[in-house]
Amino acid sequence: MDPDARSDVNDSPPAGPGADPEPGGAATTSRELYWRANLRWVVGLLVLWFLVSFGAGILFAPELNEHRLPGSGFKVGFWFAQQGSIFSFVLIVFVYVRVMNRLDRHFGVDEKRPRSGGSPGAEGEAE
């Protein structure tokens, strides 16, 4: 999946290596930088996602099962498959939430407060 995430880089004009970014304007560049930063974090976090589940929980589980999680009866591979991967997933998503909120503000693309503080029905009337 990771190659696809990166494939976006190739979508922009078929620029040669090191060619100057064609779509001009300061706004575009800032958005582009935001998007690149976003992709870097997403790819990094997905690598982690892959390692804790498919890596430790499946592919390397037989080897990891030779060892015990310190202070418990869990074989390491088994623990990752049934517990550790899930804890890591939760952590990964909350890290992403924090990082993205920071990136949004940093690049000035964050959202304004919704008018009604998010009470149900407030936007329905606009339909």
Q: Which residues bind another protein (CB under 8 A)?
A: 4-5, 7-8, 10-12, 31, 34-35, 38, 42, 45-46, 49, 53-54, 57-59, 61-62, 65, 69, 72-75, 78-79, 81-83, 85-87, 89-90, 92-94, 96-97, 100-101, 104, 109-112, 114-116, 118-127
Minimal distance in Å, beta carbon 39 to another protein? 8
Phi, psi of 35 (to 5 degrees): -65, -40
Q: Which residue's CB is nearer to another protein, number 19 or number 90?
A: 90
Position 58: which residue type? I
CA gap 104, 40 in Å, rounded: 14
Residue 76's Cβ-count burial label (10 Å; 0-12, 13-18, 19+) is: buried
CB of 75 to another protein, least distance (A): 5
Residue 17 C-beta: closest distance to another protein, Å: 19
Give me 102's structure tokens. Answer: 């920071």
Nearer residue to another protein within complex by CB, 15 or 109: 109
Rounded least distance, CB 15 to another protein, Å: 14
DSSP annotation of 114: P
Q: Is 24 helix (H, G, I), strand (E, B) or coil?
A: coil
